[in-house]
Amino acid sequence: MKNKEIPNDYGLSVWGANNFAIIDGKVCVNKGSKPAILDIVNEIRTDGYRGPLLLRFPHLVKSQIYKLYNAFNKARKEYKYSGGFQAVFPLKVNQFPGFVDILIDEGEKYGYGLEAGSKAELILAMAYNKDDAPITVNGFKDEEMISLGFIAREMGHDITLTIEGLGELETILDMQRKTQDPMPNVGIRIRLHTAGIGIWGKSGGINAKFGLTSTELMRAVQLLKEAKQLNKLNMIHFHIGSQMEDIAPLKRALREAGNIYAELRKMGASNLKAINLGGGLAVEYSQDVRDKSASYSLQEVANDVVFLLKSICENKGVDEPEIFTESGRFIAASHAVLIAPVLELFTQEYTEKALDLKENGANPPLVSELYDLYRTINEKNAAEYLHDSLDHMESLLTLFDLGYIDLQDRSNTEVLVHLIIRKALDTAAHLSERDRLQQRIQEKYLVNFSLFQSLPDYWGLGQEFPIMPLDRLDKKPARSASLWDITCDSDGEITFKTKRPLFLHDVDLTEQNYFLAFFLVGAYQEVLGMRHNLFSHPTEATITIDEDGYKIAGLKPAASLLDILDDIDYDITDVQMQLKKRIERSELIPVEKRQDVLAELYLYLSENGYLKTTRLV
Ligand SMILES: *Cc1c(COP(=O)(O)O)cnc(C)c1O
């Protein structure tokens, strides 16, 4: 098996970062005993959990944190850079406890901290951040949020409030004057004239939503000086946007920030010691080497950042600053994999079995001709026969509209044309219109998940995620596929794209389950997920792996129907009472059966809303 050619690796070598491997036709986690994801999924399902599953792999959080620190520390050593390196995780990327627990554990030995952008996130940071790790606070702040910052400082946290405007700074200074409490550190977000790029690149640039202009910067220094708190200014910050495709905008921003840093130091900000580059390190989501998301490596970024800052500081004669980063997507994306069962294939009925030709020459002549084309199509005549059959279909559909042929004829037409296209694709490798034809005969796979809940960035931004089946990877997938989720929304579809086609296997779901895995869903998707149609966060589990095997922990079932209704503020006691009343007054349910019906209904209320039907046990 080892050296056998893999028919389709779904771009694993492009996006997989060696985190997964295909062994004996199955996707396996490339760690320790290399368990097949399918085995893990089956074990969880045996306990009765159906519907989509979100699997978390702590070792993938650990390795990303290691990669980040290692790259920057290596660069610092190589360039003999005297400033330090620190990092925080931006909580907005994933605040779920199943992830944050792992993050805090794995980050401890590096002093990896947290970044908060709202009051709720700040509370999380205040509760769980380790003592020696920094907290930074970005985003707009009111008095109460600033007051939380003061409390965090008094609790002993190393906290920096990054101000987004002069008003925030004034509030901080007023509060300090009034309370005489120890001040948190102050960071300043600078407004760069260099803009970010890409679909997320709205965070930089002169019209950006965030940051102080140079005039405001000078005013901020003056305000801090007047309050005798200039020594609290410890960081300048920028963030050029997420999923940076290319390193050039970061370098431009860094030149700007480096010079601002040097100027502020010269103006007397002697404790200003850090430049915070924000986040933006890209994740490779592409399943095709021809359209890779990012054109750089992490080591390249680290080297460029260190080298650039070193040269600016040499030029301006100031100390080299600590390099501070806030990359979130890079840390969180790979740790989570969503697994969803395929429930149904929609065009599978287009097989020869579905043909219902009429006896004794009763078929319309064009249908008979289609049948002949189907029987005799071969490599040589494929293109010609194919075009003939498409012509015939047009004519037959017109005949149907005019009332000359019946539904049975029309059905035979559809089936025959479908079969002809498939045969043409199978026999003639060089058909010029392959892509268009694949599109035409695509199979619709109904998948037990909600795209709105689990892949909101696909819906909102067209962000692609790597998709592959969990098994059968030693067999060539021949079906051009589009995926339907189980919401009632036509947007809940991942369409077949001729440029980046998805091929899946022809499966008989009465014989075997077929699971699709969506990778790199650990960043942003969970909390952005919407409860469209009232589908909730899927059942999740944390999987640890060593040489001996794997362990399943932290199993959290998806919310029950009642919990979902409770969450959007229904009075669930009332919901239950209404249901009970209706059962009790129904004349269709015999009195002696009412209790059973009610019990059955209550059982459903305690389960989640995803579909259960799998034809297999
Ligand atoms: C969102 C955000 C980040 C994280 O960006 P990633 O692209 O996930 O690395 C970092 N810093 C700030 C200020 C942000 O708003």
**Is the shortest distance between the CB of 160 and ligand 1 below 6 Å?**
no
Q: Which atom of ligand 1 is nearest to the CA of 189?
A: 13
pLDDT for 17 equals 96
Q: Is 539 in the pocket of ligand 1 (CB under 6 A)?
A: no
Q: Average the pLDDT over 324-344 and give the result.
A: 97
**Does the pLDDT value for residue 108 go beyond 70?**
yes
| pLDDT tens readout for residues 558-609 | 999 999 999 999 999 999 999 999 999 999 999 999 999 999 999 999 999 9
Between CA 477 and CA 480, with CA 478 as vertex, the angle to 5 degrees is 105
CATH 1.20.1300.10 describes domain 3-51+337-347+441-556: no
For residue 237, give the ligand 1 atom closest to its CA: 13
Ligand 1 lined by 92 (C-beta under 6 Å): yes
pLDDT of 616 > 70? The answer is no
Q: State how beta strands 113-116 and 134-137 pair.
A: parallel
pLDDT score of 146 more than 50: yes
**CA separation for the pair 602, 184 (Å, rounded):** 52
pLDDT of 268 above 70: yes
Q: Which range among 19-28, 153-162, 201-210, 306-315 shows the weakest confidence by mean pLDDT?
A: 201-210
Pairing type for strands 479-484 and 503-504 reads antiparallel
Q: Is 241 in the pocket of ligand 1 (CB under 6 A)?
A: no
48: left (phi over 0), alpha (psi -120 to 50) or beta: left
How many Cα atoms occupy the beta-carbon half-sphere of 127 within 13 Å? Answer: 10
Q: How confident is the model at residue 347 (pLDDT cuts 50, 70, 90)?
A: confident
3-state secondary structure of 129: coil
> Structure pTM?
0.93
More confident residue, 533 or 196: 533
pLDDT confidence tier of residue 3, bands split at 50, 70 and 90: very low
Q: How far does the centroid of ligand 1 lie from the alpha carbon of residue 464, in Å?
A: 19
**Residue 192: pLDDT band by 50, 70, 90 thresholds?**
confident
Compute CA 240 distance to the chain's CA centroid, rounded to the nearest angstrom: 20
Contacts of 66 (CB under 8 A, 6+ apart): none
Q: How confident is the model at residue 208 (pLDDT cuts 50, 70, 90)?
A: low
Q: Which atom of ligand 1 is nearest to the CA of 330?
A: 9
Residues 6+ apart with CB under 8 A from 143: 171, 175
Index of the ligand 1 atom closest to the CA of residue 524: 8
| Whether CATH 1.10.287 fits 561-605 | yes
Residue nearest to ligand 1 atom 3, measured at CA: 279
Rounded distance, CA 421 to CA 383, Å? 10
Spacing, Cα 493 to ligand 1 middle (Å): 28
List, for residues 379-431, the tens digit of each pLDDT value. 999 999 999 999 999 999 999 999 999 999 999 999 999 999 989 988 887 88
What are the counts of helices (DSSP H) followed by strands (DSSP E) for the chain? 21, 20
Band (pLDDT 50/70/90 cuts) for residue 6 is low
Query: Cα separation of 397 and 412, whole Å?
Result: 11
For the chain, the structural domain boundaries read 3-51+337-347+441-556, 58-326, 352-440, 561-605
Q: Quick check: CB of 45 below 6 Å from ligand 1?
A: no
pLDDT digits (tens, 9 = 90+) for 37-94: 999 999 999 988 889 999 999 999 999 999 999 999 999 999 999 999 999 999 999 9
CA of 281 relative to ligand 1 center, distance in Å: 9
Query: From the CB of residue 470, how many other CB atoms can be counted at a distance below 10 Å?
Result: 24
**Given CA atoms 560, 563, 568, 573 in this order, what sign does their dihedral have?**
positive
pLDDT tens track for 255-264: 999 999 999 9
CATH number of 352-440: 1.20.58.930
d(CA 318, CA 83): 11
Spacing, Cα 280 to ligand 1 middle (Å): 6
- The pLDDT score that the predictor gives to residue 207 is 57
Output the six-digit token pair for 19.
């985190």
443 pLDDT exceeds 70? yes
Which CATH fold topology does 58-326 show? TIM Barrel (3.20.20)
d(CA 520, CA 467): 10
Residue 1's pLDDT is 41
329 Cβ inside 6 Å of ligand 1: yes
Amino acid at 393: M
Q: Tell which phi-psi region holds residue 397, choosing left (phi > 0), alpha (psi between -120 and 50) or beta.
A: alpha
pLDDT at 333: 98
**Distance separating alpha carbons of residues 209 and 224, to the nearest angstrom:** 23
The pLDDT score that the predictor gives to residue 204 is: 54
The per-residue pLDDT for 2 is: 43
Q: Rounded mean pLDDT of 227-237?
A: 96
Distance 172 CA to ligand 1 centre (A): 24
Task: Please write the tens of the pLDDT for every residue from 269-300.
Answer: 999 999 999 999 999 999 999 888 888 999 99
- Cα 92 to ligand 1 centre (Å): 8
Do 485 and 477 form a contact (C-beta atoms < 8 A)? no
- The residue with tokens 């293109």 is 383
Tokens of 392: 């015939």
Q: Is 138 in the pocket of ligand 1 (CB under 6 A)?
A: yes
Centre of ligand 1 from the C-alpha of residue 76, in Å: 23
Give the amino acid at 83. Answer: G
- pLDDT at residue 187, as a whole number: 97
**Ligand 1 centroid – CA 543 distance (Å):** 27
Can you give the pLDDT at residue 438? 87
Distances, alpha carbon 423 to alpha carbons 171, 437, 445, 548, in Å: 73, 11, 21, 47
pLDDT at 348 over 80: no
pLDDT digits 0-9 by tens, 155-165: 999 999 999 99
Beta strands in 298-455 (DSSP E): 322-325, 336-345, 443-447
Strand partners, 550: 545
* 134 pLDDT above the threshold of 60: yes
Token pair for residue 463?
């962000």
How many residues are present in the chain?
A: 617
- Domains 3-51+337-347+441-556 and 352-440 equal at CATH topology level: no
**For the residues 328-340, what does the mean pLDDT come to?**
98
Candidate of 141, 327, 334, 335 to mutate for ligand 1, largest count of ligand atoms within 8 Å of Cβ = 327
For a substitution probing ligand 1, which of 65, 92, 281 has the most ligand atoms within 8 Å of its CB? 92
Question: Angle between the 214-226 and 166-179 helix axes, to the nearest 10 degrees?
Answer: 10
The H or E element spanning position 260 is helix 248-266
